[in-house]
Amino acid sequence: MTVQSNQEITPSVKGWLSRGWQDFRRTWVISMMFSSIFLLISLVAYWQLLQLDLGLVLYPFIAGFMVVAPLLVTGFQRVGRMLHEGKQPGFLDLLKGVRETTPGIFFLTFVLCICYLIWVTDAVVIYGMYFGVKAVPINAQLLSDPVLRESLVSYLMFTGLMGFVIAQMGFMVGAFSIPLIMHQKMNFVDAVFSSVATVWRHKLLMFRWALSLALLMLTTLIVALPLLVVVLPVTAYASYAAYVDLLKPADS
């Protein structure tokens, strides 16, 4: 199944984020209400791990968020489409977007979750190799103790390299497959093939896009978690803008 590229607008990361911000401003109330659900889940997870002095384990969980993030935005994809069609969405439309999941999206969910579990499992194994089974609280001793510092650097480096490979695979598969399944009713195989082909065809642009998403999400998750209620919908709407520019048929 072939898809046509939209040539009327020069695709750019800045343009996508700008349009994502505009869509967020038009729907900020319902968007923040919906993304608050994910913020609450994240806060509970953070609190639980920090209570157990397992703050370092947060690292692979946070980084792995990039693998499964596309699965969290089906509601925003529906709202983005409605805005593009000149309609005014409500909060229920975000929930209906989740209900638009198809067998193809469920299978994609399974694949990406397997990738995520592999990442987290391997990261925990690497954590055990360097720190054993004891809890390692995040404090000044991590940097002042030479042994702990060396272990920390090695742990972050190896889990980071492993995560980069898995995240790259997840991005190529999930970048456009969900909107293609939702909006063009593609089957799983065609959607994944088109997503991978589009990422490969626009390698430099997609590298900048993936890097921008990673920096925005990781900075938010590590430094300013409450901003997730804004960053998640903005990037989700920006992802819809990327789909419109690169894959949305010109006659629809």
Q: Express each pLDDT in 15-69 by its tens digit.
A: 999 999 999 999 999 999 999 988 888 888 778 777 776 667 676 667 666 666 6
In which band, very low, low, confident or very high, does the pLDDT at 137 lie, cut at 50, 70 and 90? low
The two tokens of residue 236 are 């989700």
Mean pLDDT of 173-183: 88
Instruction: Check residue 73 and give its pLDDT.
Output: 77
Least confident of 100-109, 199-208, 240-249: 100-109
What residues have CB less than 8 Å from 159, skipping those under 6 apart?
59, 60, 63, 122, 123, 126, 127
Helices (H), 185-247: 188-201, 203-223, 228-246
The Cα–Cα gap between 252 and 233 comes to: 24
Neighbouring C-beta atoms of residue 2, cutoff 10 Å: 6
Residue 4 has pLDDT above 60, yes or no: no
Residues 6+ apart with CB under 8 A from 18: none
Q: Where are the domains of the chain?
A: 13-240
Question: What pLDDT, in 10s, does the model give residues 203-226?
Answer: 999 999 988 988 888 888 788 889
- What's the rounded Cα separation, in Å, for the pair 79 and 29? 13
